[in-house]
Amino acid sequence: MIEKSKLFERYNLAGTILANRIVMAPLTRRRAENQELAANELIAEYYRQRATAGLLISEGSQISPQGYGYSGSPGCYSQTQIDGWKIVTKAVHEAGGKIFHQLWHVGPFSHRLLQPTGGLPLSASAVQPSGEVLTPEGRLPYEVPMAMTVDQIYQTIRDFGQAAQNAMTAGFDGVEIHGAHAYIIDQFIMDSTNRRADEFGGNVANRSKFLFFVIEEILKYLPSEKVGLRLSPEGYRPGLFDSAARKTFSYIIQKLNDYHLAYLHLSEQMSPEDRIKNPGKSFVSYYRDLHRGTLLSCGGHSGESAQRMLEEGHADLIVFGRPFISNPDLVERLRTNAPLTSPDKATFYHGGATGYTDYPALNQD
């Protein structure tokens, strides 16, 4: 039993009281398999099952039709989608949970066959990602995206603001801006993907301008305590990086202190083994020294590593991803040191209830 761990203490997240310090990561599951790309009763049940987490962060939800790239991912730009998310937030709140909505624009990780007008995906610059994307015509290579015009940049900023308002209309407790994992905001930040010569390119102040304009747009409509931000400071995808990542993200994270957001969510690629044997590989403690607000750590955590990070003061909340896929009652399993069910990777995406809402809780085993 580890019931006395800080992991199970209540936490005041800028006025939102969390039952514990365990957070469910935004997990792309692609179950909005309908023409409207709207959340539904199945998705609501999935989140309801996991509502014992102190905080749920929804899967990435595209802010506009242009932000779409992963088939079956739900949006938050139409009334039908808002109504779908209302079903989810109602289910979570009735189960006693709290949930933030992740605002997402995939940038170049799309294809013209997925774009509303058949045009090329938009990005900071015309830099082609490696890999393939699932389209209506099967899996196809990513294309060279179109570098956004200044007008398109400002429209996308407004789209973030509107989607944030939509999320609050849908009943979410707050929103998380997805600024990580080489999606649209990260494309502007990293010097390998931002080759612009205008006010949004060049030095780090210019490359981070898009991020801060998005934050400022959202703060026109939401109080800062309802807004979080996710970053992946030192690379996430092969070939997509910033050549001076620590310098770049140090600048950004120090500037974030001026905005008094609900939290900063740092995502890094570590394994549970590394968390225990090589904790020095984590960059969280470095950025903790720069950030004055609530800090979330995500990536490869076990109950042991989570407990250690909280005790050492490196993070305030610990984010679990894959363990929540196959353990809807992860909080109770961590509390009692119960064994964890391993997820079936074949059912991560699509497929209805199978591998989604049919994993049993302890009392169902």
- Check if 183 is active-site: yes
Whether residue 210 contacts residue 192, with contact meaning beta carbons closer than 8 Å, is answered with no
Q: DSSP letter string over 99-120?
A: EEEEEE--TTSS-GGGSTTSPP
Q: Which of 46, 47, 70, 183 is catalytic?
A: 183
* Spatial separation of the C-alpha atoms in residues 24 and 50, rounded to whole Å: 8
Amino acid at 324: F
For residues 306 and 282, the answer to whether their CB atoms sit within 8 Å is no
Burial class (CB in 10 A: 0-12, 13-18, 19+), 10: exposed
Sign of CA dihedral 136, 158, 98, 285: positive
Can you tell me the distance from the alpha carbon of 72 to that of 32, in angstroms, rounded to the nearest whole number?
5
Please say whether the beta carbons of 72 and 31 come within 8 A. Answer: yes
| Residue 221, SS3 per DSSP | coil
- What is residue 358's three-state secondary structure? coil
Beta bridge partners of 101: 175
> Residues with catalytic annotation?
183
